[in-house]
Structure 1
């Protein structure tokens, strides 16, 4: 196994259930080096989810097809980021002190607010997937192939841009020190992969392509991810005194939904 491939394999092993047979030590250095490849993992997840959505929508009405698509999406990620979403909801919606919120996030149990937040997120996500499938292969492909790319890119940006809430503790500390160079390279990779994804989605039906919404979506979705993600991360940082591994996962889940919603608004 080459030294160059180890960060790529680490990114896939950490962020997905895609079978990668490699013995890795997951040292802080390796984890930091893997962050720039997060958009690549997102693109593979998006491709698998879009393929599942396309196949299921051929055989089923849009709503059950959307549910099957979401089940595939959760399975291929192992529910990793949903766990962060629930823990973050339990903490941030408790309106407790900073110390108490961080304590809540360390608790392996899920509270009422976490369950409610998860249910509402999945309901919104399945409704958006269903709407995109009704709109056709181009809107659904453009959204499903790009949302996982940019949401994972923003996790890397958040690791670089905001301090850790727990000094020397938790998962976030293992990613501390992601370089500016890696975040820039990750952004360029995300742009390339999202452009490729949108081209792939449009190639399914050139005759039905409406270029204005497509160009608008391509231009807006990185800006929307950056703007919304920055706003939410700043709120989390103000409440917690930094970010944690759970908040990275929560940002990923929330931003995926934001891009699905943007696609519905643009392509409808």
Structure 2
């Protein structure tokens, strides 16, 4: 069963928020089960950023400020992974080349375009929804979108033989781990209308397809793939919520 101190490890690794230094970093891989709880904090701060900015500026500007807040809290951790995946899978033709490109610290054309389109989608969708619901969507989106990476970790193997990526990527969650993380991920959805739970289905379906795509191309996943999975899931979640909101 996950230990509370693992949450502090997750907090220190996945965000730039202060965390105690005297922690057992050998257990960092296990801390991934607390990703949804980290999402509570990131989503909560993003929601606060939106709420405050919405008092001063148009909703679109407030949405951008909310995204900025989330990026500042995480250090663009997942966005960086998404950009690397766009570059690697966009320009690479075989496993070795894809992994080499993703390991490169430079962001290429595919990564830049991918991030631009991803952020544009988030801004467009969240700006079109009622301002009163956006903070709750940010909280739910950040929390739930951190469950799909764990599902990929559960099903597939780590693709880098040399284990050069962050140690937190090499971990296969147990059924109990997923039950624990899933409970944390879904809890914020209780703050939304019941119909919003339907947004879970397209997110899980898209994540399943993404995991299979990674498997076909590189035989598994990398840390960058997990970051891309989170960003992909968050965006699909907002798009699904936008569709469902027409029935509310």
So what's the TM-score if we normalise by structure 2? 0.91
In 2, distance between residues paired with 1:177 and 1:254?
Answer: 21
Q: 1:60 corresponds to which residue?
A: 57
Q: Which SS does the other structure have where 1:21 is aligned?
A: coil
Q: Which SS does the other structure have where 2:55 is aligned?
A: helix
Query: How far 1:194 sits from its partner (Å)?
Result: 3.0
Counterpart of 2:138 (choices 144, 147, 155) is: 144
Query: How far 1:170 sits from its partner (Å)?
Result: 2.6
Q: Which SS does the other structure have where 2:147 is aligned?
A: helix
Counterpart of 1:184 (choices 179, 201, 217) is: 179
Query: How far 1:259 sits from its partner (Å)?
Result: 0.8
Rg bigger for which structure?
1
Alpha-carbon contact 2:143-2:184 (below 8 Å) kept: no
Q: 1:208 corresponds to which residue?
A: none
Q: Which runs of 5+ in 1 are unaligned?
A: 199-213
In 1, distance between residues paired with 2:154 and 2:201?
Answer: 18
In 1, distance between residues paired with 2:151 and 2:221?
Answer: 12
In 2, distance between residues paired with 1:173 and 1:71?
Answer: 27
Query: How far 1:173 sits from its partner (Å)?
Result: 5.5
Q: Which SS does the other structure have where 2:17 is aligned?
A: coil
Alpha-carbon contact 1:39-1:148 (below 8 Å) kept: yes
Q: Which SS does the other structure have where 1:93 is aligned?
A: helix
Output one character per residue of 1:31-74: Cα deviation in whole Å (capped at 9) or x when no partner: 23212211111011111111111111121111211221111121
Output one character per residue of 1:103-151: Cα deviation in whole Å (capped at 9) or x when no partner: 111111111111111111112222222223xx1312x133211111111
Counterpart of 2:148 (choices 151, 154, 164) is: 154
In 2, distance between residues paired with 1:237 and 1:146?
Answer: 28
So what's the TM-score if we normalise by structure 1? 0.85
In 2, distance between residues paired with 1:106 and 1:123?
Answer: 26
User: Following superposition of structure 1 onto structure 2, how do residues 155-170 of structure 1 map, counting pairs within 5 Å?
Assistant: 155-170=149-164
Q: 1:209 corresponds to which residue?
A: none
Query: How far 1:244 sits from its partner (Å)?
Result: 0.2
| Number of aligned residue pairs | 244
